[in-house]
């Protein structure tokens, strides 16, 4: 077919083969597609996505070009611009949080890097353009304030707790409410109460993602969370050695019991790349989490090597700077992309309820 016979309807139909990664709905007839123009040789169009999808905007754009090219092979140049729409997130759960995706980061065992990975995922989603909040659900041993070097007491304005801000990212943690070296002594109902307050009484603002750093081990907090709001799912962090993997399986079954979907597994401290000679040493083994994930048919999201800078800098509150170094930043970005891609796939299968976009 020569390009002179091409109609707007035919182009719209080709674009309609694509779906919005956030809503799972076809882009045909959507007002997210604008400014379609073409000549004999080239085509241009603009597709607007919500900020939830921005971490995979480049992949989406690539797919859009390929989809149109497959339908109209005579175009020599196809230019798709991705712009952004301001899409209000839904209000969810009895806590009335305004958020699209709530993701808990957990593990069966302590000290495997949950907090580091949770904060890194949040910071990376934020850097890639999404609206993100970070909640530290480790009431007894909060570590998020330390990782981000954030302190100070949250203010209460009009009955709402104002989260501390890391740049434009709201953060809430028990660490802001107790003195640094003071132990938190809580009984069950108080635990439930503080999690409720973190979710219901905190002014998070509209979010694409709320990342929740879970405490190690027991299912209390998972159960409380699942009663308060529908979680999109959980990410389980583990290290490669066999004992840690057994704990990961325990964590997976804990999330399954509380009906929290499993989004995937991350292998942390996966190999050590020696800064002196660039050689890789698999201190705890390597690839165990990937194999276990395959065995259990859960997605494997990626691996993060052991890195001295990550340990040193993040213990001094400079996690954000550490992520700017590709050695740490690139593996985390891969994990974030897999996560957002998996969420998009889930949305295609079961589209979430969506409020109408506000066009910018
Ligand atoms: N990839 C990594 N390379 C080097 N050090 C790491 C890495 N991931 C985490 N660490 C370090 O390991 C220690 C434990 O990490 P972190 O506090 O994130 O674990 P956790 O699972 O949240 O622990 P807890 O169960 O106590 O909540 C920290 O000192 C952290 O800096
Ligand atoms: Mg932790």
Say whether pTM exceeds 0.85.
yes
Last residue in a domain, options 32, 61, 85: 85
pLDDT confidence of residue 354: 58
Q: Is 188 a residue whose pLDDT tops 80?
A: no
Q: Is residue 161 part of a domain?
A: yes
pLDDT confidence of residue 358: 46
Candidate of 109, 115, 321 to mutate for ligand 1, largest count of ligand atoms within 8 Å of Cβ = 115
Q: What is the pLDDT of residues 163-176, one digit of tens each?
A: 999 999 999 999 99
- The atom of ligand 1 lying closest to the CA of 308 is 4
Q: Is residue 28 part of a domain?
A: yes
Q: Is residue 199 part of a domain?
A: yes
Q: Are residues 75 and 101 in the same domain?
A: no
Q: Tell me how crowded residue 222 is: count the other CB atoms within 10 A of its CB.
A: 24
Q: What is the pLDDT of residues 209-235, one digit of tens each?
A: 999 999 987 688 888 898 999 999 999
Q: What is the mean pLDDT of residues 322-330?
A: 92
pLDDT confidence of residue 112: 92
- Cα 296 to Cα 285: distance, rounded to the nearest angstrom: 19
Q: Are residues 27 and 109 in the same domain?
A: no
Q: Are residues 216 and 322 in the same domain?
A: yes
- Cα 269 to Cα 303: distance, rounded to the nearest angstrom: 8
Last residue in a domain, options 85, 116, 151: 85
pLDDT confidence of residue 187: 66
Q: What is the pLDDT of residues 134-150, one digit of tens each?
A: 999 998 889 999 999 99
pLDDT confidence of residue 190: 78
The rounded radius of gyration (Å) of the Cα atoms in the chain is 22
Q: Which residues contact 129 (CB under 8 A, 6 or more apart)?
A: 51, 54, 55, 57, 84
Q: What is the mean pLDDT of residues 335-355?
A: 85
Domain harbouring 41, CATH code:
3.30.300.130
Highest mean pLDDT among 115-129, 217-231, 301-315: 115-129
Q: What is the mean pLDDT of residues 247-269?
A: 88
Integer angstrom CA distances of residue 238 from 80, 264, 294: 39, 11, 14
Q: Is the distance from CB of 224 to CB of 93 less than 8 angstroms?
A: no
How many Cα atoms within 13 Å fall on the side-chain side of residue 297?
A: 0
Q: How far is the CA of 76 from the centre of ligand 1 (A)?
A: 50
Q: Give the model's confidence band at 360: pLDDT under 50 very low, under 70 low, under 90 confident, else very high.
A: very low
Q: Is residue 160 part of a domain?
A: yes
pLDDT confidence of residue 308: 86
Give the chain's mean pLDDT.
89
Q: Which of 238, 267, 261, 240 is nearest to 250 (CA)?
A: 238
Q: Is residue 359 part of a domain?
A: no
CB crowding 283-314: b at 16 or more within 10 Å, else e: ebbbebbbebbeeeebbbbbbbbbbeebeebb
Q: Give the model's confidence band at 184: pLDDT under 50 very low, under 70 low, under 90 confident, else very high.
A: low
Ligand 1 is surrounded, with C-beta below 6 A, by 107, 110-116, 138, 141, 143, 216, 268-269, 304, 306-307, 310-311, 314-315
Q: Are residues 40 and 100 in the same domain?
A: no
Q: Is residue 358 part of a domain?
A: no
Last residue in a domain, options 67, 85, 103: 85
Q: Is residue 163 part of a domain?
A: yes
Q: Tell me how crowded residue 183 is: count the other CB atoms within 10 A of its CB.
A: 9
Integer angstrom CA distances of residue 271 from 15, 24, 311: 43, 37, 14
**Of the listed ranges 75-89, 231-245, 263-277, 340-354, the one predicted with least confidence:** 340-354
Q: Are residues 64 and 103 in the same domain?
A: no
Q: Is residue 80 part of a domain?
A: yes
- Cα 132 to Cα 204: distance, rounded to the nearest angstrom: 9
- Cα 25 to Cα 238: distance, rounded to the nearest angstrom: 34
Q: What is the pLDDT of residues 41-50, one digit of tens each?
A: 999 999 999 9
Q: Are residues 38 and 156 in the same domain?
A: no
Q: Which of 145, 133, 224 is nearest to 178 (CA)?
A: 145
Q: Is the distance from CB of 342 to CB of 21 less than 8 angstroms?
A: no
Q: Three-state DSSP class for 206? A: coil
Q: Are residues 217 and 316 in the same domain?
A: yes
Element (H, E) at 161: strand 160-161
- Transcribe 78-102 into DSSP letters: EEEEEEEEB-PPPEETTTTEEEEEE
Q: Are residues 153 and 60 in the same domain?
A: no
Q: Is 22 a residue whose pLDDT tops 90?
A: yes
| pLDDT cut 90: percent of the chain above it | 61
Q: Are residues 221 and 317 in the same domain?
A: yes
Q: Is 62 a residue whose pLDDT tops 70?
A: yes
Q: Which domain holds residue 285?
A: 91-349
- The atom of ligand 1 lying closest to the CA of 270 is 1
Q: Give the model's confidence band at 205: pLDDT under 50 very low, under 70 low, under 90 confident, else very high.
A: very high
Q: Is 88 a residue whose pLDDT tops 90?
A: yes
- The atom of ligand 1 lying closest to the CA of 315 is 31
Structure-token match 């970070």, residue found: 134
Q: Are residues 68 and 183 in the same domain?
A: no
Q: Is 236 a residue whose pLDDT tops 50?
A: yes
Q: Are residues 162 and 289 in the same domain?
A: yes
Q: Are residues 128 and 245 in the same domain?
A: yes
Domain harbouring 259, CATH code:
3.40.50.300
Q: How far is the CA of 136 from the centre of ligand 2 (A)?
A: 8
In the chain, the number of structural domains is: 2
């Amino acid at each position: 077919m020569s390009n002179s016979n091409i109609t707007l309807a035919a182009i719209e139909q080709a674009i309609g083969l694509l779906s919005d990664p956030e809503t799972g709905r076809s882009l045909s007839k959507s007002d997210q597609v604008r400014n379609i123009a073409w000549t004999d040789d080239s085509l241009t169009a603009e597709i607007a996505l919500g900020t939830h999808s921005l971490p995979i905007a480049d992949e989406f754009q690539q797919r859009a070009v390929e989809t149109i090219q497959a339908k109209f092979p005579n175009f020599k140049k196809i230019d798709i611009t991705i712009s952004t729409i301001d899409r209000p997130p839904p209000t969810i759960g009895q806590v009335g949080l305004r958020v699209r995706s709530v993701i808990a980061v957990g593990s069966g065992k302590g000290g495997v890097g949950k907090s580091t990975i949770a904060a890194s995922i949040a910071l990376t989603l934020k850097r890639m353009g999404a609206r993100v909040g970070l909640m530290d659900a480790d009431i007894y041993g909060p570590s998020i304030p330390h990782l981000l070097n954030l302190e100070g007491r949250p203010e209460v304005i009009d009955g709402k707790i104002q989260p501390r801000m890391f740049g434009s990212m709201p953060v809430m943690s028990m660490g802001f409410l107790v003195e640094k070296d003071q132990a938190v002594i809580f009984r069950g109902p108080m635990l439930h109460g503080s999690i409720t307050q973190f979710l219901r009484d905190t002014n998070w603002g509209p979010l694409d993602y709320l990342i929740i750093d879970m405490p190690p081990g027991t299912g209390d907090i998972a159960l409380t969370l699942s009663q308060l709001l529908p979680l999109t799912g959980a990410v389980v962090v583990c290290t490669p050695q066999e004992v840690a993997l057994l704990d990961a399986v325990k964590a997976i079954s804990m999330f399954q019991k509380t009906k929290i979907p499993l989004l995937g597994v991350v292998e942390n401290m996966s190999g050590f790349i020696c800064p002196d000679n660039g050689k890789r040493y698999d201190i705890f083994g390597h690839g165990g989490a990937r194999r276990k994930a395959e065995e259990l048919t859960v997605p494997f999201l990626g691996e993060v090597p052991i890195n001295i800078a990550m340990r040193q800098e993040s213990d001094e509150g400079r996690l954000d700077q550490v992520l700017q170094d590709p050695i740490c930043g690139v593996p985390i970005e891969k994990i974030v992309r897999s996560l957002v891609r998996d969420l998009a796939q889930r949305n295609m299968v079961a589209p979430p309820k969506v409020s109408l976009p506000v066009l910018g």
